[in-house]
């Protein structure tokens, strides 16, 4: 029983020459062969129907966003000071959060991947926790730790006069808290896949472990770090819950794009759509940047 | 100076003059595996650790490099204690089995890596590296990334990289294993040349007896973490002391009790071998497969005292020869020509008679 129409247009022509580059060739041709086998038997309706509904469910909202976009008033909406402020703040904070994640997250990933110590599994679980933790809870937890009366925040305030909550720095902290696990997990995976014997080879040539890491390991895992950084950056850019809880919603200071979208939706839905489209465009760009990696990874 | 001249000159394997060279006892325990080998070598020596897979050769090499900590024993190089020294501070160079050239660096920068870590400026390190590549006839490939190099070129870059730090101990892990048969021949000859030029101690690990015999002037045979035999290649080839070595050098080897010209085999006292040498007590008897003559029927009037009834277990071609694996009273390997094999109508399961002239056997004390 074959479904009459839908799969055939997507069927790749078997005679098409493969222009793939060496690395991706195996997985791509492998995937193509599998797809062809599956199509020959035809997709059974009980699977095909929910699959198409699932696809529509994911794509339809985005299409709706495009349909309802106020294209004519777009230029005005996007050039307003508030939008620019929010966009600028979002980009700056997401980038800063990514930098923070890189500086402390890459060494953490190295520790998890390369050093045997007791309780490593537990540490890895703790690192991963913010991935699954509701971001609002993360924000509350950050307040408890770094708030003006928080466990650590009190000392920061007393000793250095530093207060993080409801400041731009607080936005960076909240975003880094939520985004860093993405980077750590990605980099740790790359480190595990990388041959640790290169580090050994470097030490036999007189390199200290740190030099070996800096001059051999780091360049070898650069693609993994880049992918992890992009993931973390995208996550930080979209951060809402932890940010609004820990840093509040002050235009120009802590109001990032997602917060602005949420606020605009209540007063000016057209502006909300316009802002959403900007974020959508950024997401698509990120996806395009990661495409090669994801295709070869699967 | 060639390796052969060196063998003749030096008392190889003896502790070095005035504490020079390598003096080590390596004990490494890992779960149920225990490595315990003593190694000594003078500057200029090339020592080969030979043994089957899993014997502990590579562990010994890693212990020398400091990549595996010693459980016990000691490690002295030119009189200096190294057993607690971290790998980056040891004057040791390593050529790894698959070379481990840094894939993101050019051949030149791979070789410059060591000098750079030892404090040379970038320009100095590169100049030294260029010199080494020149010496390895690789100047034309200085700018190539490792994946653009052939197996033989990569091997020479790895050797140059290891030598560029002027190590007092050069370690080579299966230096030819990653090469195809034809490249191997060339690279082996070049490597032999470079090792002969090397003025400090070189230790190489291999499971290939030919590599070991061509490259080294002292062989150390390791089985199950222990040294089972050591000596010059010629000595080991002539007097193997375990089945593994006998098989490697292509000899039939038996152990038994000698009484005059007769050796009664351990484990099969009914079987005796008549030998040229007269010995008493535990002894080895060895003879090459080419010394075995096969007959379809029991030979009559043969002068050979060594006559056994055997069953053909398997046949293998070696060039224009056929090697027959025989079982029966005495497990044997016998070489014969293809023509002879056809005339004898050899086939697995068939029965043959094997004779060996006493003059072609070689007996020595166990």
Residues B2-15: tens digit of each pLDDT = 334 333 344 444 44
User: Under a CB-based contact definition with an 8 Å cutoff, are residues B37 and B25 in contact?
Assistant: yes
What mean pLDDT do residues B65-69 have? Answer: 93
Report the 3 state secondary structure along A99-126.
HHHHHHHHHHHHHHHHCCCCCHHHHHHH
Domain extents in chain B: 22-238, 250-365
- Asked if B64 reaches chain A (Cβ–Cβ under 8 Å), the answer is no
- Asked if B86 reaches chain A (Cβ–Cβ under 8 Å), the answer is yes
CA distances from A85 to A81, A93, A228, A250 (A): 6, 12, 27, 11
Q: Rounded CA gap, A133 and A52, in Å?
A: 31
What mean pLDDT do residues B343-354 have? Answer: 86
Residue-level pLDDT at A28: 40
For B34-49, how does the pLDDT look when each residue is reduced to its tens digit (9 = 90+)?
A: 999 999 999 999 999 9
Q: Rounded CA gap, A79 and B134, in Å?
A: 63
CA distance B183 to chain A (A): 24
Q: Rounded CA gap, B22 and A81, in Å?
A: 75
- Chain A interface disruption, residue of B64, B87, B103, most A CBs within 10 A: B87
User: Taking CB atoms and an 8 Å cutoff, what residues of chain A touch B65?
Assistant: 204
Q: Which of A201, A209, A219 sits opposite B96 (nearest CB)?
A: A201
Residue-level pLDDT at A2: 39
| Confidence category of residue B18, pLDDT binned at 50, 70, 90 | low
Residue-level pLDDT at B302: 63
What mean pLDDT do residues B8-29 have? Answer: 67
- Asked if B154 reaches chain A (Cβ–Cβ under 8 Å), the answer is no
- Chain A positions touching chain B (beta carbons under 8 Å): 195, 197-198, 200-209, 211, 215-216, 219-220
Q: Which of A182, A189, A187, A160 is nearest to A94 (CA)?
A: A182
| Confidence category of residue A109, pLDDT binned at 50, 70, 90 | very high
Q: Which of B67, B96, B114 sits opposite A206 (nearest CB)?
A: B114
Residue-level pLDDT at B17: 47
Residue-level pLDDT at B49: 94
How many A-B residue pairs are in contact by the CB < 8 A criterion? 57
Tokens representing B123? 């320009």
Q: Rounded CA gap, B177 and A116, in Å?
A: 31
What mean pLDDT do residues A50-71 have? Answer: 92
What mean pLDDT do residues B329-342 have? Answer: 85
What mean pLDDT do residues B12-20 have? Answer: 53
What mean pLDDT do residues B208-222 have? Answer: 87
Residue-level pLDDT at A292: 63
Q: Rounded CA gap, B92 and A147, in Å?
A: 54
Residue-level pLDDT at A174: 95
Question: Is residue B242 pLDDT above 90, yes or no?
Answer: no
Residue-level pLDDT at A40: 57
Residue A208 burial (10 A CB sphere; 0-12, 13-18, 19+): middle
Residue-level pLDDT at A39: 55
Residue-level pLDDT at B57: 92
- Chain A interface disruption, residue of B61, B98, B100, B128, most A CBs within 10 A: B100
What mean pLDDT do residues B306-330 have? Answer: 85
- Chain B interface disruption, residue of A195, A206, A210, A218, most B CBs within 10 A: A206
Average pLDDT, chain A: 83
| pLDDT cut 90: percent of chain A above it | 49
User: Taking CB atoms and an 8 Å cutoff, what residues of chain A touch B88?
Assistant: 203-209
Is A197's CB within 8 Å of B96's CB?
yes
Residue-level pLDDT at B303: 62
Give CATH for domain B250-365. 2.40.50.100
Q: Rounded CA gap, A261 and A246, in Å?
A: 18
For B124-139, how does the pLDDT look when each residue is reduced to its tens digit (9 = 90+)?
A: 999 999 999 999 999 9
Is A205's CB within 8 Å of B102's CB?
no
Residue-level pLDDT at A38: 52
**Domain topology for B22-238:** Rossmann fold (3.40.50)
Q: Which of B89, B102, B165 sits opposite A216 (nearest CB)?
A: B102
Q: Where is pLDDT greater, at A202 or B189? A: A202
Tokens representing B192? 């032999």
Q: Which of B65, B102, B103 sits opposite A204 (nearest CB)?
A: B65
What mean pLDDT do residues B176-186 have? Answer: 82
Residue-level pLDDT at B293: 87
For A214-248, how does the pLDDT look when each residue is reduced to its tens digit (9 = 90+)?
A: 999 999 999 899 989 998 999 999 999 999 999 99
């Amino acid at each position: 029983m074959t479904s009459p129409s839908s799969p055939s247009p997507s069927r790749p022509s078997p005679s098409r020459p493969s222009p793939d580059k060496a690395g991706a060739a195996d997985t791509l041709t492998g995937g193509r062969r599998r797809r062809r086998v599956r199509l020959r038997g035809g997709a059974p309706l009980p699977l095909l129907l929910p699959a198409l509904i699932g696809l529509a469910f994911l794509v339809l909202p985005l299409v709706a966003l495009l349909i309802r976009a106020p294209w004519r008033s777009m230029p005005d909406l996007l050039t307003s000071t508030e939008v620019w402020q929010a966009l600028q703040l979002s980009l700056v904070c997401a980038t800063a959060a990514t930098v923070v994640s890189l500086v402390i997250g890459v060494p953490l990933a190295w520790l998890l991947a390369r050093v045997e110590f007791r309780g490593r599994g537990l540490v890895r679980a703790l690192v991963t926790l913010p991935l699954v933790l509701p971001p609002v809870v993360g924000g509350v937890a950050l307040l408890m730790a770094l708030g003006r009366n928080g466990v650590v925040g009190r000392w920061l305030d007393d000793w250095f006069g530093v207060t993080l909550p409801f400041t731009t720095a607080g936005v960076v902290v909240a975003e880094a808290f939520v985004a860093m696990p993405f980077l750590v997990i990605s980099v740790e995976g790359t480190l595990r896949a990388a041959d640790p014997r290169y580090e050994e080879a470097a030490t036999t040539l007189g390199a200290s472990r740190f030099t070996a890491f800096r001059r051999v390991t780091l360049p070898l895992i650069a693609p993994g770090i880049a992918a992890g950084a992009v993931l973390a950056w995208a996550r930080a850019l979209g951060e809402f819950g932890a940010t609004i809880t820990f840093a509040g919603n002050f235009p120009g200071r802590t109001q990032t794009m997602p917060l602005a979208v949420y606020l605009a939706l209540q007063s000016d839905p057209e502006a909300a759509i316009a802002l959403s489209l900007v974020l959508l465009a950024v997401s698509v760009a990120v996806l395009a940047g990661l495409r090669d990696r994801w295709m070869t990874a699967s | 100076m060639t390796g052969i001249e060196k063998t003749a000159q030096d008392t190889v394997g003896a502790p070095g003059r005035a504490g020079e060279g390598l003096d080590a006892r390596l004990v490494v325990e890992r779960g149920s595996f225990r490595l315990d080998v003593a190694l000594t070598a003078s500057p200029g020596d090339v020592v080969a650790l030979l043994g089957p897979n899993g014997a502990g050769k590579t562990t010994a090499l890693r212990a020398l490099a400091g990549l595996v900590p010693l459980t016990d024993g000691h490690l002295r190089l030119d009189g200096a204690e190294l057993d607690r020294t971290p790998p980056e501070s040891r004057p040791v160079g390593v050529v790894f089995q698959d070379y481990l050239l840094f894939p993101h660096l050019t051949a030149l920068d791979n070789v410059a890596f060591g000098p750079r870590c030892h404090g040379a400026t970038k320009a100095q390190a590169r100049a030294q590296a260029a010199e080494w590549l020149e010496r390895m006839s690789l100047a034309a490939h200085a700018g190539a990334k490792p994946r653009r190099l052939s197996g033989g070129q990569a091997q020479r870059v790895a050797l140059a990289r290891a030598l560029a730090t002027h190590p007092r101990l050069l370690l080579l892990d299966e230096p030819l294993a990653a090469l195809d048969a034809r490249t191997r021949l060339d690279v082996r000859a070049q490597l032999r040349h470079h090792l002969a030029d090397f003025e400090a101690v070189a230790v190489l690990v291999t499971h290939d007896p030919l590599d070991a015999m061509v490259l080294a002037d002292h062989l150390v045979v390791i089985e199950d973490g222990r040294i089972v035999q050591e000596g010059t290649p010629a000595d080991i080839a002539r007097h193997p002391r375990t089945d593994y070595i006998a098989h490697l050098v292509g000899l039939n080897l038996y152990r038994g009790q000698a009484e005059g010209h007769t050796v009664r085999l351990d484990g099969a006292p009914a079987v005796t071998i008549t030998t040229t040498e007269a010995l008493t007590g535990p002894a080895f008897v060895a003879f090459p497969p080419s010394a075995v003559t096969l007959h379809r029927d029991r030979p009559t009037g043969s002068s050979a005292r060594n006559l056994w009834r055997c069953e053909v277990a398997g046949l293998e071609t070696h060039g224009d020869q056929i090697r027959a694996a025989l079982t029966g009273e005495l497990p044997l390997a016998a070489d014969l020509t293809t023509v002879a094999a056809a005339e004898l109508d050899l086939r697995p399961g068939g029965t043959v008679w094997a004779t060996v002239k006493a003059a072609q056997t070689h007996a020595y004390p166990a």
